[in-house]
Chains A and B, each alone.
Chain A
Amino acid sequence: MKRYLIYILTTMLIIQSCKKSTLELNNPNEPLPQFALPTEAGLKNFSLGILQKMIANVPDEGNTNIFHIALTNHSILGDEAYCPYGNYGLRWVDQVYKITLPSGQVVVNPNTVDQKTQLKGFDSRDAGERNAFQYEWSVSYYLIAQANRLLQALNDPTLSLSGDAANKINIFKAWALWWKGYAYSRIGSMYLAGVITDSFGLVNPNFVDHTAIMTEADKVLNECATTLDAISEGDDYDNIMTAIVASFNNNSKIVSPAMWKRQIYTLQARNLLVNKKITDMSTANWQQIITLTNQGIQAADNIFWFGMDPSGTNDISSGFFHPYAFIGEVQQFTFVSERLVQEFKPNDKRFTESFVLFDPPKVNERGRGLQFGTRWNPVFIENGGRYATGNNQGLVPFACSFEENQLMKAEALIRTGSTEAGLQIVDAIRDRQGSGLAHVAGTGLNATQAFEEYRRERRVALFLWGTAFYDARRWGVTKPASQGGGRANAIVVIPGELLSPQQPDAAPVPCFMEYNYMDYWDVPQNELDFNAPASGSVPLKN
């Protein structure tokens, strides 16, 4: 007996040895690229997954949809909305420099410096999430990276696709090129400079200025259009498109290759329009806009949308990273600007159905600046409004809309003397959006009046759709007052004690607002810390 026990013990000591092969453990939870990407299912999932590149881990904020932060920056820069909160640096992005009250009293923002000084002060990794420069930059390059990786996978010799493989490859290729072209469009339209990168994971230190980035965007978009020409529509196309467009982004309305191409033309028109000051637009430029918009999105076209999942899960909004949720009364991260509200014409149904009064109004929120105030609370889409949701409703265009296409055309027409044709478009858009407003075409407006009708309509029709800052910049509103910038008769809700005479309640009064914003933003230091520019590079900072 004893002997056996000792044998057992000795045996246990000996047999307890291991093979090295037991250590070769592969991650059982996530696919290795070499297994997933050579398959059609893998390509579909990877194409759908480009949406995830809009999410990044932001220091202090956790997983954040930084694409949405970029959209919000455009809205608050364009003063269609405002955000009084410091998260993601938002409150300093719309740091209006000075507001002149009707009494002549000039109120400088509480930080006492202009937006450029403020934002540049945060342009470091130390500043973490407050560095506003980083979001649109990062999200655009993350999109480009995933697109480059997808293009690389399409050239993989191990790729195995059934049926009309070439057609399938072209569909995925068009998808990658579309997002890549879109991302370059955003970089070139927002930053002083950028880099062009065609390989995932490589760092390119050759910074080029934003016009060169726009040239690259144009090139990639043209390549996308060419690829679309080669695609044949059919079950394969529908099947792939339904898989790579997320269900919460309305994948049931399939964007056909032709519709897709028309989005490209509209985006190219936008790229041209928003990167020139209105005073610098030549007749030829306007003509180009007309040409592109004539080929652009049509009224019945399906486009690529950014939406939310009705259950509030499994989407990229994480519950509030969507323009319509962010502005809603639940999150109250952004608020509608009085300067947008004043663009609505009286009795515009889009206004009367979409806004009610806050009781009491928001005034000089948290003491952070007079621009941070509004009387208007957006009505949820689920309750009949248009611009806000408490329950995951509503879609905004990722890129351009039919409205934007038409309004660009209208601006070009008005600018080139075809005032009536332009106003007809304004009326058509108002009708399309159910404004209930009387038509202005044929009412004898002169060019200036027509442009004002158009300008107000563009602000209203494209509210929260990503064009507000581009417009404010090219129309000269965000320039320093000394250079003719600013906005007169801008409605600001002023606390009663600042009114003359003083009164107990706050009141909306017309003021002069000097925004004094940068035109193009600095290349964020987060990039430059790890990608030192090659010598001879272009200016990267204001």
Chain B
Amino acid sequence: MLCSAYAQTKPVTGKVTDASGNPVPGISVTIKGTSSGTTTNPDGTFKLNVPESATLVFSGVGYEASEMAVRNRTVFDVQLTTEIKALSEVIITGTGVATEKKKLSIDVASVANKDLTKSAFLSIDQALIGKVAGAQIQTTSGEPGQKANIILRGVNSLGSTNPIILVDGVQVTDINGLDVANVDRVEIAKGPAAGMLYGAQGANGVIQIFTKKGTRNKPISISLVSKVSIDKVILGKDKRLSAKYHHFLMDANGHLLNRKGTVLQPDANGMWPEPAEEDFNTNLNLKNDKTYPADLPIYNHLEQAYQTAVSTTNSIGISGGGNKSDYSFTLSHIDQENVLANHLRRNNLSANLGFELFKGFTARNTTQAILQDENLLSGTYNVTDRIKYNVDALFEGTNNNRFEMINSYPWIDFKSTYNGTDLIVVRPRDENQLNVLSEPDWHKRYSKDTRIINNSNLNYKFPKFLELDFKYGIELWNSEYQDLYKNQELAPQVALGFWGPTAQGSVRDDHAKSTYQNALSTIYVRTDFSKDFKIDLPITTTTQLSYDWRKLQYTSFFSQGLNLPQYPPANISSGALKTSGDGSFDYITYGYLVNQTIDFGNLFGITGGLRSDYNSQFGDQKKAFTFGRGTAYFRLSELLKANKLTEWKLRGAYGAAGIPPNEFDGEYYSRQTTLGSIQLGEGVGLYVPNILGNPNLKVQEVRELEVGTDIIVTPGTENWLNRVNLSFTYWNKKNKDNIQYVDLPASSGTQQIRDNLIDLNVKGADVSLDANMYTDKMVDWTLGVRFGTFKTKVLKVANGRDFVSGLFVVKEGEPLGNFYTVTPLTSIDQTRPDKSRYIPEADASQYEIVNGLVVNKKTKRATLTDATDQRITGNAYPDFTMSFINSVTLWQRLNISFQWDWSHGNEIYNLTKQWMYRDRLQKDFDKPITVNGETGAFVNFYNSLYNSVQRTGWFVEDGSYWRLRDLTLTYQLGSALNVPWVKGLAITASGRNLLTITDYEGLDPEATSAQDSQGNRTFGAGSNIGADYFAIPNLRSFQFGINIQF
């Protein structure tokens, strides 16, 4: 057929523009009745050979299709009109039934590649920040490769909040590491009503990533993207946390003194003794008001700790398609530097190949190979993520922070070296902390990850009724880690400190291998009453029957050589003492899904279904757990046919889904009580574990009801507000049988047991608004607003007893994320719970209220409530999060887009500040107060609030912030270059996190996480976020990029 047509062809050219005259790239130009054709270039132009008899069809997402007969024309200037009903967009659910958006009765957010944040090139989660209403995505650290904390529609359990991640319809274990460049679209199903379709464990929601596909009958298209990013950590308003003044003892010449009364100076190895501090216990009026001597160099440790890093990314995409096939290849390389000049490097190679083997039978295979290596000294988070057994204790603690630098005297130079060497002083301060900047001299580490994700899909659509679909995905992931601590026996301060487990050095290799398989078989039965049964009703139905099987297998082992020689090589074989260990687990779940959809024309529709699954993680594994769902929509706009109301849909959905026990604490087999095992000297010790297994553990269940509405109005003129799209969803979740650690009395012999003993209620609302604000030939301005809010209430906890989750206590009847703390007294007659006065009436005259706190007039000290009298002083979760996304295109060439993110009403526990109170070095100590008529920066006042890093209300701060997440300028040079083989050229300049507006006094209100007071990472919804513990702040980046299309 094509051959005969070809004989009479002629070349035609053309340009496709939109209503305001902007060129529209990516419009499909096809010959009517065939599948051959092309797509428009970035400047809207196209070239094609067509028969004179043909008719060209111009179509593209968001535009009304248009047809033009060729006849004798050779040049086509086509203006497409915006498709008012952009609702024909199809939400392609990975497991469920592909559905037009207008017929969807659940709230599924879809973010196309072009809408992903341009300045986030490392990970998909970062690129999604602020894009989805109800998705709280927070990057808690500026560390390369660090995972974002993703919370979809509130906290569902005390364990992980991580949603299921699907790539092209099959599950993978981690969103981190996936290539941003090959993402076509991301769909986010936020709650169990939608999520259960994708897995019985879908209670935390689902993030589905669809990778770029080629287009059939499209010539080869190549695009190159190259970017460089210059990153600096966010250091807050005045770039310091330390006080400018001091209260140390000085001699007559203004020199600081040590406790022998001589001038403070470091010893021969560069270690500073403690200074003589004026005694505030006896000198109650001591003020922090002395200036440092001019001849004593003062260092800004934040600036010493964090340096500028330069990162690059390059990617090449090749796509196209033949008659019965399509292809897309993406190759990306990322090299991200961190503040210690170490790197994270990643190569992603993706291929997406589709074939139509014969009519109705398609086969598709997508592969993504991810090769990542990093040598970040602070990359231990990565180790603890992948290594699940025999984790080196060195990696579990405070290894990845700058505690010892930031919490130190300003005269200590953390870059000072031992005399006559270029080795940095390991212990510049006389305490049991090492200088993190000396670590690179003695510690080398790397990790290498090889991860291959392959998804295969066979699909056959019978001519009528039936469709068979089979998907099989496999994720192979190999990780290897090496940590080398050199022999330090000859190091100058070895007796006082060394890096690693022993001064003689060690080398440790960890290997982990995991295989995740997901097979999904589906039969769809479709009917159309009018077509198939000749019944005059506009009823269509789809019945889905799926069988879903998933299996995760994991093994890890390590070996370590200790006591290395002082000569090379430093390997395990050369270690005088060797240890090793291993661990493994399997995890299986399988079950079936039945789902029935019935649509009545475009007016209304209902779906209902159930999912029944077995899981190796709980109970006796013999009983399935079964969840149901039901949804309905009604499109009022079909009835109203109002002029300016294009769409009005009401929708509601109910669904339940589960969270398996291992999502609580990452431990598998927690239904069994096994004996713990530990290497003790030359033997192996067995012991009754501190945390008991529980054979009765059940799946944690979330039941969700969501109701919402989608409205599209065209209220404005041709230029102003010609389209406004509003979507609102209210949701309410009951979370039953959440697992918690239940404390046991020590006399029972164990510490805790896991049990399904907590119930939560989570409710909230998500709102999205998209508007074409102004459109003409010169200007095109669009606005997107995203809003999400939720509240979590603890309905029930075990035995009615409070429990500690992370930093804070969780109590029945209260919201999750509360900060329970002792608080400074705010009234002189304040009483304890037992009604006894904190300050006896007789002593009341010795106190006064200063800045809202009760302060003793003589001692200048504040008084704190008892540890047994704690109250709520904040909550880690915001009242709401909001984003404003603006995009303005000028002269059809210059695009300016920016995104503001707003988090409002959350508090942060500023543990960093509290720790800096320890040595009375925090900048608060400079702030004068007035006590008993005297004004001064009284040391006793601030010191009395320190409270040994116990949770104290004083350190709870408003964590609200506005952040200019992204500002991107793109200039389309188009074909201006006049190089025939370059179809498009664009240059971009962008900034990420350029501006933050906040009252928060720490470095970065976003860089918070669940940390205990000693910096150990904890899990637990009570403090999933909310503590600022010396985290590496997020990066402020300036980026420059070039994008070339061939």
A residues contacting B by CB (< 8 A) are: 1-2, 5-6, 8-10, 12-13, 16-18, 20, 22-33, 36-37, 42, 44-46, 48-53, 56-57, 59-63, 86-87, 91, 105, 107, 110, 121-128, 130, 134, 137-138, 141-142, 144-146, 148-149, 194-195, 197, 200-204, 243, 246-249, 251, 309, 311-316, 318-319, 329-333, 359-367, 369, 380, 390-392, 495-498, 503-506, 524, 526-531
Contact = CB atoms under 8 A, between A and B. Distances in A.
Contacts of A59: 804, 1012
Contact of B743 (A24, A107, A309, A529): A529
B502 interface: yes
Contacts of B621: 20, 23-25
B495 A329 contact: yes
A22 B743 CA distance: 33
B496 A390 contact: yes
A527 to B, nearest CB: 5
Interface of B: 249, 251, 257-262, 267, 273-274, 276-283, 357-358, 361, 389, 393, 396-397, 430-432, 458, 460, 468, 470, 495-497, 501-503, 519, 521-523, 547, 549, 560, 562-563, 577, 579, 582-588, 590, 614-616, 621-622, 668-669, 672-688, 690-691, 743-751, 799, 801-804, 809, 820, 866-868, 870, 918-920, 943, 948-950, 1012-1014, 1016
B678 A6 contact: no
Contact of A29 (B358, B560, B585): B585
B948 A495 contact: no
Contact of B588 (A23, A248, A319): A23
Contacts of B260: 359-361, 504-506
B468 A10 contact: yes
Contacts of A527: 745-747
Contacts of B809: 125-126
B746 A138 contact: yes
Given A49-B687, A495-B259, A506-B260, A312 B501 contact: yes
Contacts of B943: 367
B688 A146 contact: yes
A256 to B, nearest CB: 20
A529 B745 CA distance: 8
A359 B272 CA distance: 11
Contacts of A107: 281-282
A45 B684 contact: yes
A412 B208 CA distance: 79
B579 A313 contact: yes
A89 to B, nearest CB: 9
A148 to B, nearest CB: 7
B674 A32 contact: yes
B804 A125 contact: yes
A201 B688 CA distance: 10
A14 B950 CA distance: 60
Given A28-B584, A505-B261, A195 B687 contact: no
A351 B473 CA distance: 70
A62 B866 CA distance: 25
Contacts of B277: 364, 367
B579 A45 contact: no
B381 to A, nearest CB: 16
Contacts of A16: 519, 521, 547, 549
B867 A311 contact: no
Interface centre among A29, A50, A243 (most CB of B within 10 A): A29
Nearest to A2: B358
A26 B669 contact: yes
A424 B522 CA distance: 91
Contacts of B673: 33
A361 to B, nearest CB: 5
A237 to B, nearest CB: 17
A498 B622 contact: no
Interface centre among B458, B497, B682 (most CB of A within 10 A): B682
Contacts of B585: 25, 27-29
Given A125-B804, A142-B746, A505-B261, A49 B685 contact: yes
Given A5-B361, A49-B680, A249-B681, 4 more contacts: A5-B458, A27-B674, A45-B677, A363-B259
Given A12-B458, A498-B279, A319 B547 contact: no
A-B pairs, 5 with minimum CB distance: A145-B749, A504-B261, A49-B685, A247-B681, A86-B948
7 contacts: A32-B675, A110-B281, A146-B749, A248-B680, A495-B279, A504-B257, A529-B745
A421 B833 CA distance: 59
A227 B276 CA distance: 59
B199 to A, nearest CB: 15
Contacts of A506: 259-261, 276
A29 B583 contact: yes
A330 B497 contact: yes
Interface centre among B274, B358, B682, B745 (most CB of A within 10 A): B745
Nearest to A17: B547
Contacts of A145: 688, 748-750
Contact of B1014 (A27, A62, A380): A62
A128 B744 CA distance: 15
A60 B279 CA distance: 30
Contacts of A63: 393
A251 to B, nearest CB: 8
Contacts of B748: 141, 145, 197, 201-203, 530-531
Contacts of B1012: 59-61
Contact of B675 (A46, A148, A246): A46
B749 A51 contact: no
A200 B688 contact: yes
Nearest to A243: B683
Given A57-B690, A61-B1014, A48 B683 contact: yes
Nearest to B691: A57
Nearest to B616: A23
A200 to B, nearest CB: 5
Interface centre among A24, A313, A495 (most CB of B within 10 A): A313
A392 B743 CA distance: 34
A12 B522 CA distance: 10
B675 A130 contact: no
B361 A2 contact: yes
B672 A27 contact: yes
Contacts of B470: 9, 12-13
Nearest to B470: A12
Nearest to B363: A5
A474 B545 CA distance: 78
Nearest to B741: A57
A36 B685 CA distance: 12
B257 to A, nearest CB: 7
Given A45-B686, A201-B748, A530-B799, A52 B614 contact: no
A367 to B, nearest CB: 6
Contacts of A23: 588, 614-616, 621
B684 A60 contact: no
Contacts of A332: 430-432
B491 to A, nearest CB: 13
Contacts of A127: 867, 950
A93 to B, nearest CB: 13
A29 B584 contact: yes
Nearest to B949: A86
A370 B685 CA distance: 43
B281 A62 contact: no
Nearest to A15: B521
B747 A203 contact: yes
Contacts of A495: 259, 276, 279
Given A29-B583, A359-B260, A144 B278 contact: no
B55 to A, nearest CB: 32
B688 A30 contact: no
Given A56-B690, A125-B804, A141 B749 contact: yes
A497 B279 contact: yes
B396 A45 contact: no
Contacts of A52: 676, 678, 680, 685, 687
A227 B283 CA distance: 63
